[in-house]
């Protein structure tokens, strides 16, 4: 158990709809990262938040947005969903800044299926 909690674990929805994925980082971790893993693909970095502020942006579509709340949990909002958005969405958190070796702790992922 990594200590990172993601909900829901599975989600099935239709094209054009909007969904929200939720993540609670490990206790004490200030950074939250969102990654997308499509079929047979690596993990693609979407966005990072640090203590409520956006820190870095990867290949995140304009239809997607995220935020980190004062209690440090984060939500990833996916709108106008397309078939190609079907993927595993992982949230990860990392230790507070210090020895910045890049180690991330991942949740179990939210599997989104768009029909």
Partner 1 sequence: DQQVKQNSPSLSVQEGRISILNCDYTNSMFDYFLWYKKYPAEGPTFLISISSIKDKNEDGRFTVFLNKSAKHLSLHIVPSQPGDSAVYFCAAHPKTGANNLFFGTGTRLTVIP
Comparison of 13 and 106: residue with beta carbon closer to partner 1 = 106
Q: How far apart, in whole angstroms, are the C-alpha atoms of residue 55 and residue 41? A: 24
Q: How far is the CB of 94 from partner 1 (least distance, A)?
A: 6
Comparison of 79 and 105: residue with beta carbon closer to partner 1 = 105
* Nearest residue to 55 via CA among 19, 10, 100, 1: 100
Q: How far is the CB of 104 from partner 1 (least distance, A)?
A: 6
Comparison of 83 and 99: residue with beta carbon closer to partner 1 = 99
Comparison of 62 and 103: residue with beta carbon closer to partner 1 = 103
Q: How far is the CB of 51 from partner 1 (least distance, A)?
A: 13
According to DSSP, the residues that pair with 87 across neighbouring strands are: 112
Q: How far is the CB of 110 from partner 1 (least distance, A)?
A: 10
For the residues of 42-98, what is the DSSP string, one character each? Answer: -EEEEEEEETTEEEEE-S--TTEEEEE-TTS-EEEEE-S--GGG-EEEEEEEEPPSS
Which residue's structure tokens are 């180690």?
Answer: 103
Q: Which residues lie near partner 1 (CB under 8 A)?
A: 2, 4, 31, 33, 35, 40-45, 48, 55-56, 58, 90, 92, 94, 100-109
């Amino acid at each position: 158990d990594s200590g990172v909690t993601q909900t829901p674990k599975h989600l099935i929805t239709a094209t054009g709809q909007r969904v929200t994925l939720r993540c609670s980082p490990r206790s004490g971790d200030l950074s939250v990262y969102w990654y997308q893993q499509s079929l047979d693909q690596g993990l693609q970095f979407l966005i990072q938040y640090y203590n409520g502020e956006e820190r870095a942006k990867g290949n995140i579509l304009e239809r997607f947005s995220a935020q980190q709340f004062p209690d440090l949990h984060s939500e990833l909002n996916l709108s106008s969903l397309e078939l190609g958005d079907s993927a595993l969405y992982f949230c990860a958190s990392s230790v507070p800044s210090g020895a910045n070796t890049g180690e991330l702790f991942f949740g179990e992922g939210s599997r989104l299926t768009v029909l």
